[in-house]
Structure 1
């Protein structure tokens, strides 16, 4: 039995030590109470947390639970065939546990262990919520000590801070939902529980950071865990290559889910992922994340494969990916934000309204800001600045919005933040050509040159943000919007290039076509449309940072203008 001292002081709770008692778990028999060092009365009647485990390398899995009677709970588990794979149980006892604490600890252990990756968790998604209770801060401090002991026992590997900075944790289906996410979940469930064959499209609308992607993942896991819906053909459709790779990686360690649950739009016509030409609507539910990035047949790179899908589905040549989703699924659920449409290929809002009608005019709204600590006020502030609404200057509690006067200060600050938070990244608009595309990472060639500083564009699209944690070389690159959209960053360091300037006559922000290098991003766009796409790109980039956004502006006039709105770092 392991005894873990805690760092809590003499306030309530008193910081009593934890006891971690480990014993064999046998299917049909459960545990032998006599093999435990804990007193019998505690085993039979005390609030505790436990971890069932199987350490066989071929099926290394775990289940986290809480109970007020370990003996009774283990007896129940021994009769449950789903628990037959487990061979041991780790029982966590503390003299100061109560039911609120063990529920909170259970939730935290599930979230951390699922992202840690030592075990594949088999827990079902039963609706976690943030609990408030007496002396919660003290118990949270005590939890840190418990986690370190679990690491020493090899039940966990990474530190809490390492896990919480990881993408896998950020996209875990075991997240606690906000109030408006739960309201949205209930509305969607009501539609699913009705006749799916008569279901109408649903639109979930929210600003960046309101938890659209998390809700989609949570919903997928909840439906797979629900006996009524587990056999439905459900997929998350992720239009963006980079985020799709990240979500696939995140779902690998989640019981009941796998990487094949996340597909791209073209995969909708692939039998490997559930398409069946003999069935009118082969998909029961499609959760279409970042649906504002679905494309039309314009400004794309692969017309051949695009046309092949339309042909296979019996649709006109000019049909869009939105048409594909509507044709192939009984209930399409679109997670949507028109302000994040960034190129001509993206289906325009008018087309969405034409096809979705009341679903788009009366969406389920997510309002609570879950990413940016500056809250919705910060996002509105950025939108107002970019869209020439001239908001009053303001600051935000617990959030850094900083303008750097020199590129040297910008990069020095970036290096400091990166050393403290490994999900800090540099991002930029498409104001430089991608000369290093396809070049080896070790190539001395650079894309972005500002003064005596030079940088390389992201050398990959798929999971560039996450790969920068494992390989510091990628963390030194500058990401484009396609590598950043949909992601949470600790700090976002944004270079506003010469593609966005201040019109000296009108005082308005305008796009500069001559300094915009995304060929597919400007084909066929009017000057006004291009300006809006560029503004939308910077809106996306400036709303990635959880704790702060740091900015360097290339254009002198625009830099002076933005000093009216930012804290200035000289």
Structure 2
């Protein structure tokens, strides 16, 4: 079995695209050609986790930059100033690492949204085409901590770019201050040319449709009968230490295997290590290393850490181990996963609830979204352990 040893090449613009991805590339490039003289236009790419959104986005960007920097005098896209924006430091590292290997891409072509907005406001210069990956991570309210004083990232990006292409998945919204909805996104289409393209083919999880459905349902709190699937290694554990030992063995054999957890164990950015303990298992949370050039998922040493949704979102693993922490329990009455927001340790996720009609339900939605993200990282296998004994027992008999 040939497994992937790095995530970097999986976003390379040189990768062969599927039929729908190729169609999308042509659709976006054509959209940019038609609207390159307009004041404002918006193209929305929708798709669930693992449908290849970032892959095709970087291929689109490479096509745009190749034409922008080419010597073809009559090319309508020649000389345009284009950018990729992503509000995810680990993804930004990945994109910049890829740019260093491509002749028509520059590391400076990639930025965080607040940096792009503040630089544009300072210079007064608009970009021509801006592609936004992980647009569900854009802020929908001011955030002083991140030096964003305006009301909405996308609103400001549309102000400072003539054509904006966004990649969006509402099931990956992780914070109240990024509380996106389809309706909110729809409001930005009004008054400007817009198109939408939906990707629905699963490229990450190499499993049968029944297994993909089982994982997707679990990410929504539903517990379905576990399918037999020789193409995907799906395991449920009653011992977290055993799960970790098996995951380490897979990592030694295949590489790119990591342990992840829901954000249910204390963690503080104070320079100290913080540990997750489950029975005989004890391992530290991922360390914050902003100066590290490699993304967390690609660093060999991170097999000795537990990753969070924030370090793994957007990345692929060969095998993913996932700890379902104390915020998740077995709701026997409804035979599903219940959610306890008070046990969720990511308190920053629930800051800024103004304008959210039902904050308690929104909290549960955020927690399940985060669960969905970490469940869909493994290409070839998923190993699960639940903190709640009743949930553990229920999953073991699926």
- Asked if these proteins are the same fold (TM beyond 0.5), I'd say yes
What are the superposed Cα offsets for residues 211-243 of structure 1, whole Å, 9 maximum, x if unpaired?
Answer: 111111111111122232242111110111111
Instruction: State the distance in 2 between where 1:265 and 1:519 align.
Output: 23
Indicate which of 208, 211, 236 corresponds to 2:49.
208
1:254 matched to 2:102: yes
Query: Where does residue 23 of structure 2 map in the other structure?
Result: 183
State the partner residue of 1:235. Answer: 83
Distance 2:320 2:37 in 1: 44
Map of 2:349 onto structure 1: 521
Q: Which has the larger radius of gyration?
A: 1
Matched position secondary structure for 2:37: helix
Report the more deviating stretch, 524-533 or 495-504. Answer: 524-533
Query: Does the C-alpha gap of structure 1 residues 412 and 251 become closer, same or farther in structure 2, counting only changes over 3 Å?
Result: same
**Corresponding position of 2:153:** 321
1:341 aligns with 2:181: no
Map 1:2-401 → 2, pairs under 5 A: 164-198=4-38, 200-226=41-67, 227=70, 228=75, 229-271=77-119, 277-279=123-125, 282-297=126-141, 300=143, 302=145, 305-307=147-149, 310=150, 319-349=151-181, 350-356=183-189, 363-374=196-207, 377-401=210-234
CA contact (8 A) 1:428 1:480 kept: yes
Q: Name the structure 2 match of 1:421.
A: 254
Distance of 1:561 and 1:362 partners within structure 2: 44
SS at match of 2:188: helix
1:510 pairs with 328, 338, 356, which one? 338
The CA deviation string for residues 59-111 of structure 1, in whole angstroms up to 9 with x for no partner, is xxxxxxxxxxxxxxxxxxxxxxxxxxxxxxxxxxxxxxxxxxxxxxxxxxxxx
Relative to the length of structure 2, the TM-score reads 0.88
Question: 4+ residue stretches of structure 1 with deviation over 6 A?
Answer: 358-362
The one of the two structures with greater contact order (alpha-carbon pairs below 8 A, sep at least 6) is 2
Q: Is the 8 A contact 1:353 1:361 kept in 2?
A: no
Residues in 1 aligned to 2:271 and 2:193: alpha-carbon distance in whole angstroms: 40
Query: Structure 2 unaligned runs (5+)?
Result: none
Cα distance in 2, alignment partners of residues 380 and 374 from structure 1: 10
Asked if 2 retains the 8 angstrom alpha-carbon contact of 1:481 and 1:541, the reply is yes
Secondary structure in structure 1 of the residue aligned to 2:241:
helix
Aligned length: 382
Superposed displacement of residue 475, structure 1: 2.2
Query: How far, CA to CA, are the matches of 1:468 and 1:186 in structure 2?
Result: 31
Rate the CA distance shift 1:337–1:398 in 2: closer, same or farther, 3 A. same
**Structure 2 Cα separation of the partners of residues 414 and 508 of structure 1:** 27
Distance 1:497 1:261 in 2: 38
Aligned-residue offset at 1:499:
1.0
The Cα shift of 1:527 comes to 2.5
The answer as to whether partners of 2:48 and 2:200 remain within 8 angstroms in 1 is: yes
2-structure distance, mates of 1:256, 1:388: 44
Distance 1:469 1:331, change over 3 A: closer
Aligned counterparts of 2:53 and 2:172: Cα–Cα separation in 1 = 13
Q: What is the CA distance between 1:357 and its match in structure 2?
A: 5.4
Q: Distance in 1 between matches of 2:192 and 2:278?
A: 46
TM-score, normalised by the number of residues in structure 1: 0.62
Q: Which runs of 5 or more residues in structure 1 are unaligned?
A: 1-160, 311-318, 440-444, 566-570
Stretch moving more, 481-490 or 448-457: 448-457
Kept in 1: contact 2:42–2:194 (CA 8 A): no
C-alpha RMSD of the superposition? 2.6
Deviations 1:334-370 (A, max 9, x none): 1111111112111320321222359999720112222
Could you tell me how far 1:421 is from its partner in structure 2? Answer: 2.4
Secondary structure of residue in 2 paired with 1:547: strand
Aligned partner of residue 24 in structure 2, secondary structure: helix
Q: Distance in 2 between matches of 1:221 and 1:415?
A: 36
Which SS does the other structure have where 1:394 is aligned?
Answer: coil
Greater Cα shift, 502-511 or 399-408: 502-511
